[in-house]
Structure 1
Amino acid sequence: MHESKFEFIENCLLHLYLSISMNGGHHSVAKRNKILIAYLKPKVKLAKFKFIKSEIKSMLAIAKNKDGDLEDNLIDSYKSR
């Protein structure tokens, strides 16, 4: 069974916040994007996520953009469900 897009977004945000909590302190948007990139990159190749592969690639593109704020984008997507 594949994971829904909203469950995936929820897991991304949980991973981000747990990583920040474990490392302590405040993290810049660039550092938050790096944490999310490290989490998302391996997911692109997994068959489990083939149904949301294009969304994952879009997320990676936002995170890699110099002015991108993937966390904010994920929160907006999650709230709009």
Structure 2
Amino acid sequence: MSEPDILCDVIDNALLHLYLTVAETTRYTPIPKRNEVLLRYLKPLAKDKAYRGARKEIRSFLVLGKTRGCNLESKLIELHELSLRYDKNASDAHQLFDVLGQIEDRLGFPTRFINYLNKGEQPQANTIYMLQEHIENGFVESGEQVAPVSLFLESSTVVSVQAFINESGLFLAELQQMNEGAKQGHIVLHPATKEA
């Protein structure tokens, strides 16, 4: 999980913890008490290895929560709303680079442009190749995808790459061509909101 995802999880879980704790009492819970509840939840996370990517931010929350007159809950709500706005506005181009990064991290397939192969150089197996023109012409300036993007892969796991992309929900991956003998595949990416 990436650092921004870890931080979003911390914020969401901290707010849920606060609201569930406050819901257990019928009395009004003042801001200092709410800060205390949040601090008790966040303190162990600062030492947890699973949250290493957000450790700096968690420590900042701890300092902020101990500051007199500070409302840690409102700060976490602001950050939560900011992350929701970012997710909503994430462009298709950004999502393409996210999914390609996930493929490299989880499946081990790096991505290259076909245009950058040296003359005489053959495409490498287990590497995803893209046409630079598809990126330049497939997205408008705002990052919205307006044309399908092709991915070319020489591997015995082309179908699993297609499934991985579809499971991500970021794009609809269509297997355009598959040469079983040569283990070559052509995957076409469409925006997730449109049918292939």
TM-score category, normalised to shorter length: over 0.9
* Structure 2: runs of 5+ lacking an equivalent: 84-196
Aligned to 1:47: 49
Query: Matched residues in 2 for 1:26 and 1:38: separation?
Result: 19
**TM-score for the superposition, normalised by structure 1:** 0.93
After TM superposition, list the pairs within 5 Å mapping 1:50-61 onto structure 2.
50-61=52-63
Q: Name the structure, 1 or 2, with higher relative contact order (CA <8 Å, separation 6+).
A: 1
How many residue pairs end up in the alignment? 81
User: Which residue identity does 1:78 align to in structure 2?
Assistant: H
Please say which structure displays the higher CA radius of gyration. Answer: 2
User: Which residue identity does 2:37 align to in structure 1?
Assistant: I
After TM superposition, list the pairs within 5 Å mapping 1:1-81 onto structure 2.
1=1, 4-81=6-83
Question: Structure 1: which 4+ aligned runs deviate by more than 3 Å?
Answer: none
User: Which residue identity does 2:44 align to in structure 1?
Assistant: P
**TM-score for the superposition, normalised by structure 2:** 0.40
* Structure 1: runs of 5+ lacking an equivalent: none
Query: Matched residues in 1 for 2:68 and 2:48: separation?
Result: 27
Give the drift of 1:30: 0.2
Write 1 or 2 for the structure with the bigger share of strand: 2
Query: Matched residues in 2 for 1:24 and 1:48: separation?
Result: 34
Question: Percent identity at matched positions?
Answer: 33
Give the drift of 1:67: 1.4
Query: Matched residues in 1 for 2:69 and 2:43: separation?
Result: 19
Give the drift of 1:24: 2.4
Give the drift of 1:73: 0.1
Q: Deviations over 1:20-41 (max 9, x none)?
A: 0012221110000000011011
